[in-house]
A and B are shown apart, each in its own frame.
Chain A
Amino acid sequence: MAAPLVVPGAGPGGRAPTVAVLAGGLSHERDVSLRSGRRVAEALRGTGAEVTVHDVDADLVPALRQLRPDVVWPLLHGATGEDGSVRDVVRMLGLHLLGSGPRASRLAWSKPVAKTVMARAGVATPEHMALPQALFRELGARPVLDLVVEHLGLPLVVKPSRGGSALGVTLVASRDELAGAMVECFSYCGTALVERAVVGTEVAVSVLDTGTGPVALPAVEIVTDGPYDYDARYNPGRTEYFVPARLDATAQAAVAELAIAVHTTLGLRHLSRTDLVVDDDGVPWFLEVNVAPGMTETSLLPQAVEAAGHDLGAVYRALVDAAASGA
């Protein structure tokens, strides 16, 4: 029997926590982050928490110094929000951070690093190369790309080594498409992650920890009529979601175990979302993990929370309470 996520109600008579939600920033995912921030702020206010929403700009540090909120929750997707730097700032201010700390964020933020760490921990992850633009400048594009295809085969996935929302991601089916995919990828990021594409069921597993240990929520299966690209993620209707994923019990347990292994191995805190593919043999392959998963109307973590029978506000509040108590 699976133990449920512990979502304690707000205790009677306790002071309402003050929460500073950080949203926006200068990353390519600013828009998504603003939406995530609004959704979370709204849900938390419904629990009685006092929430302020802050952009990441020159006003932030003075505002946090003055407010001294009980908890700072970075809902920043991409760049300084996920690379650990804003989290460093929160720590330097001596404030409680909701979510992963700076060092763990840095591990997760770099997809090649996260994959390497997880591979060493014995988790299956598609074979990959991390190829900076500078390498092509030195060796030329054609010989390196030929070698990549010889070594990894086709199809391949090309994605920026950092960043989310599928920006700059291309599924490459033939050698001819590879150069264009690299150009698109390098428009977003100086290093491309090129990995063997695993065919199978795409799922995302969210992990939450409200202070009693990490718990995996039901896996969300993603089915699109094309790539799970930006439009498929944020245009309701484009993508069909199955929660829980249509996996047999063994595979369900395996993906949950994998997501928790990622969460614990990388030292993540409070919440994370691991994206993976389950191949036709039922083997889950780790793709990437997000320390600031999307919280929009169409995002995967909120869907998983609701599918597990929990109220979003109550879960967010439980995370805030855990963070406030230093858990």
Chain B
Amino acid sequence: MTTPPAPDRTTSGTPTSAAAAGTRLDPWLASYAARTGGMRASEIRALFAVANRPEVVSLAGGMPYLARLPMDQLADIAGRVVAERGLVALQYGSGQGDETLREQILEVMRLQGIEAHPDDVVVTTGSQQALDLVTRVFVDPGDVVVAEAPSYVGALGVFRAYQADVVHVPIDADGLVPAALDETLTELAAAGRRVKLLYTVPNFHNPAGVSLASSRRPQVLEIARRHGVLVVEDDPYGLLGFEGEPRAALRSMDDEGVLYLGSFSKTFAPGYRVGWVVAPHAIREKLVLASESAILSPSNASQLTVSCYLATYDWRSQVKDYREMYRERRDAMVGALADHLPSATWTVPEGGFYTWVRLPEGLDAREMLPRAVTALVAYVPGTAFYFDGRGADHMRLSFCYPTPDRIREGVRRLAGVVTAERELVELFGATGGGGSPAVQAPGPDVA
């Protein structure tokens, strides 16, 4: 092995003559649809692989803290579903979803003032599929979807997949700014753009942590109605408020102009993949057909399990337990930010999973992520939540999964990272080259 190279053995084998064309390792390259053009291998997603290691405090993921679930009872429920209703649970089901579950969903939504008929509900594979169906049914390539600035990364991924153009509207501490929404829709109309949807997360926004003020809700609906734009109300966190009663949903004020997306992922467990959409009659028919062509029917096994849980377990207490736990974690998060990162600013969410942190001037959250991972802490850079490359000055921190002690430790580590990055940026008077692309698909880590 330490022998000097012998000239006669420098190449192995007898390769065929040099190919005129090389290989791109993908014989189907010419066959892909245009919509795959923006799909990239992202180093940010690769970095999240490290975030799953236990040494890393991940403030990145939106995973509910399932250890609080009554696992023994859930095991009983799963067993009962198969033992007692196996022939239904394991069979294909209705494209629209199990009727009993749809009735129970009405009961859940009533907590936010929504009155509907079971026929109005379409059960989906998580509300992410509802988002996909709604976009498929309404959005042609080039159509505009208006969304908050910032907006849920998973929704942006769906809109991108359907080749929509997303136009962001500013938000403040009270959510969407009605005047800005009106102005944006007016400008888009003047420019001859077709705006199909207003996508909004009115409660405990992902990633911004803010909620649409009750006083603004009728205003937003009025503006959307006036501009002829359908509202998509995405509400996975509505029951996870830390104080007072749940706010009335937009859908409770308008049953013709609002599509309401609900989910059991955050209030119960995401593993069942059960969500739903509430839609007016004509739209709902199309959503059912679209869903059948995509998946035939949502999982009966999951639906019956969720249904049995709702029928036999005190699910309201479970939601209350979650709320109290997440409030404690929110407190740990904002307390730690005040202690360790006074140079940043952040939202103080009144529910949900996330706070939205503005970094000190000049820092780029994307560029800083490798340093953070080295320091064993992870977050989602703000660029993931914009369609247009903005957001590098923000990061989303989740407080849902780590314990309060881990949250404090994570923020402490993050503070060290910010200090080091600030020194670097001040030294060079520049942020990085901006080579890292935004997260382009939600991935279970950032949903």
Q: Which residues of A contact B (CB under 8 A)?
A: 1-5, 24, 26-32, 34, 57, 133, 136-137, 140-141, 165, 167-168, 170, 177, 179-184, 186-188, 208-209, 213-218, 221, 223, 229-231, 233-246, 252-253, 256-257, 260-261, 264, 267, 269, 297-298, 303, 307-310
Contacts and interface: CB of A to CB of B under 8 A. Distances in A.
Contacts of B23: 240-243, 303
B25 A30 contact: no
Given A2-B10, A230-B43, A187 B430 contact: no
Contacts of B376: 26
Interface stretch (B14-22, B168-176, B242-250, B402-410): B14-22
The 3 tightest CB contacts between A and B, nearest first, are: A308-B13, A184-B432, A256-B10
Nearest to A315: B12
Nearest to B23: A241
Task: Give the interface centre of B1, B12, B26 by most chain A CB atoms within 10 Å.
Answer: B12
A184 B433 contact: yes
B25 A298 contact: yes
A243 B26 contact: no
A217 B365 CA distance: 41
11 contacts: A4-B12, A28-B47, A28-B374, A30-B50, A181-B432, A187-B370, A240-B21, A244-B11, A256-B10, A260-B10, A264-B1
Interface stretch (B76-84, B195-203, B313-321, B419-427): B419-427
Contact of A167 (B2, B3, B370): B370
A264 B443 CA distance: 43
Contacts of A133: 424, 427
B370 A28 contact: yes
Contact of A233 (B15, B41, B50, B369): B41
Contacts of B13: 4-5, 217-218, 307-310
Contacts of B71: none
A236 B22 contact: no
A31 B24 contact: no
Given A188-B370, A230-B43, A241 B1 contact: no
A164 B42 CA distance: 15
Given A230-B41, A231-B40, A5 B12 contact: yes
Nearest to A298: B25
A286 to B, nearest CB: 14
A233 B40 CA distance: 11
A318 to B, nearest CB: 12
What secondary structure prevails in chain B residues at the interface with A? loop
A160 B204 CA distance: 40
B373 to A, nearest CB: 6
Nearest to B45: A31
Given A186-B424, A214-B5, A242-B18, A181 B433 contact: yes
Contacts of A214: 1, 5
Contacts of B11: 2, 215-218, 244, 252-253, 256
B53 A26 contact: yes
Contacts of B5: 214, 257, 260-261, 264
A241 B25 contact: yes
A26 to B, nearest CB: 6
Given A231-B437, A244-B15, A264-B4, A183 B430 contact: yes
A4 B13 CA distance: 5
B22 A223 contact: yes
Nearest to A137: B427
B435 A229 contact: yes
B39 interface: yes
A183 B425 contact: yes
Nearest to B11: A2
B433 A180 contact: yes
Given A28-B374, A213-B1, 17 more contacts: A2-B14, A3-B8, A4-B14, A57-B53, A133-B427, A183-B428, A184-B367, A184-B435, A186-B424, A187-B371, A208-B12, A235-B39, A237-B26, A237-B29, A253-B7, A267-B2, A309-B13
